[in-house]
């Protein structure tokens, strides 16, 4: 990498880091390409040479977080999807909960991106990139679900809807994280997420099987 290329990469990373900080601390509405340009010492025109739109910037942040979470899941689980399908599923949930705890900024961004009722990345191609990244990250879950079906542990059904159900259920539970500080909150959020997963697995169980 030439010094010029290295400098461009460093500035690229600086832009992404500053944008992620703005979004997680102030919300997506606070992210303005003009304001961001000033924060990193660019003119607006110079910033657009790195990202041609706000959609492109949000999509890259989302893809990075999703890919990072996917790599964490792959590295953190001791068993393979085929070796112990349900053990693998439970292990990935624990790994994702640990990732969320260690990366609150990433969790906040995903929560905003998925939870806001507005379409935050209206560009169809950019949105498709994010969805493709999410699909890629849950592929190991699909493999484990298919293996569980093959072993007769779960009823037969398409794996991708189930994988997305697992992910969205855990992500939904994590939205309650800040409520843990209250004495009246009845259950730790991580325990709630695991309980929800066990409920899904029980509902998908093959006749005669019990999980949890």
Distance CA 14, CA 116 (A): 26
- Residues 27 and 57 placed together within one structural domain of the fold: no
At 120-131, the pLDDT tens digits run 777 888 888 888
Please give the residue range of the domain that contains residue 127: 53-204
90 falls within a domain: yes
Query: What is each CA distance from 58 to 13, 74, 117, 128, in whole angstroms?
Result: 13, 24, 16, 13
Residue 210: pLDDT band with limits 50, 70, 90: low
- Kindly state the tokens that stand for 178: 């800040």
* 82 compared with 117, residue with greater pLDDT: 82
Per-residue pLDDT at 177: 82
The answer to whether 114 and 174 have CB atoms below 8 angstroms apart is no
Last residue of a domain, one of 34, 52, 70: 52
Domain containing 154 — which CATH number? 1.10.357.10
- Residues 97 and 64 placed together within one structural domain of the fold: yes
173 falls within a domain: yes
57 falls within a domain: yes
Last residue of a domain, one of 52, 80, 95: 52
Distance CA 152, CA 9 (A): 49
Query: What is each CA distance from 50 to 1, 57, 68, 154, 196, in whole angstroms?
Result: 18, 9, 22, 47, 41
- Render 181-211 in DSSP notation, one character per residue: GSTT--S-HHHHHHHHHHHHHHHHBPTT---
According to DSSP, residue 180 is labeled: G
Q: Is the pTM of this model over 0.85?
A: no
At 112-162, the pLDDT tens digits run 777 776 777 778 888 888 888 888 888 999 999 999 999 999 999 999 999
The answer to whether 172 and 162 have CB atoms below 8 angstroms apart is no
150 falls within a domain: yes
- Residues 182 and 81 placed together within one structural domain of the fold: yes
Distance CA 203, CA 210 (A): 9
211 falls within a domain: no
At 28-76, the pLDDT tens digits run 888 899 999 999 999 989 999 999 888 889 888 888 888 888 888 777 7
209 falls within a domain: no
- Kindly state the tokens that stand for 97: 């909960």
Q: How many domains does the chain have?
A: 2
- Give, to the nearest 10 degrees, the angle between helix 159-174 and helix 104-115: 110
- Residues 64 and 107 placed together within one structural domain of the fold: yes
- Residues 96 and 22 placed together within one structural domain of the fold: no
76 falls within a domain: yes
- Residues 122 and 40 placed together within one structural domain of the fold: no
């Amino acid at each position: 990498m030439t010094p010029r290329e290295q400098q461009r990469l460093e500035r690229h990373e600086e832009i992404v880091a500053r944008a992620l900080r703005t979004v997680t601390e102030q919300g997506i509405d606070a992210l303005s390409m003009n304001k961001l340009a000033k924060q990193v010492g660019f003119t607006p025109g110079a910033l657009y040479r790195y990202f041609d739109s706000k959609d492109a910037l949000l999509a890259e942040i989302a893809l990075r977080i999703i890919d990072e979470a996917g790599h964490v899941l792959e590295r953190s689980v001791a068993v393979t999807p085929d070796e112990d399908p349900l053990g693998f599923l439970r292990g990935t949930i624990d790994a994702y909960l640990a990732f969320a705890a260690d990366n609150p900024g990433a969790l906040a961004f995903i929560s905003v991106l998925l939870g806001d009722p507005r379409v935050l990345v209206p560009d169809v191609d950019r949105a498709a990139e994010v969805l493709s990244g999410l699909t890629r990250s849950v592929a190991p879950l699909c493999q484990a679900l298919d293996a569980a079906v093959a072993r007769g542990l779960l009823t037969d059904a398409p794996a991708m809807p189930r994988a997305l159900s697992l992910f969205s259920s855990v992500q939904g539970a994590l939205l309650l994280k800040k409520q843990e500080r209250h004495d009246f909150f009845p259950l730790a959020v991580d325990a709630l997420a695991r309980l929800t997963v066990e409920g899904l697995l029980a509902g998908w169980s093959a006749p005669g099987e019990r999980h949890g």
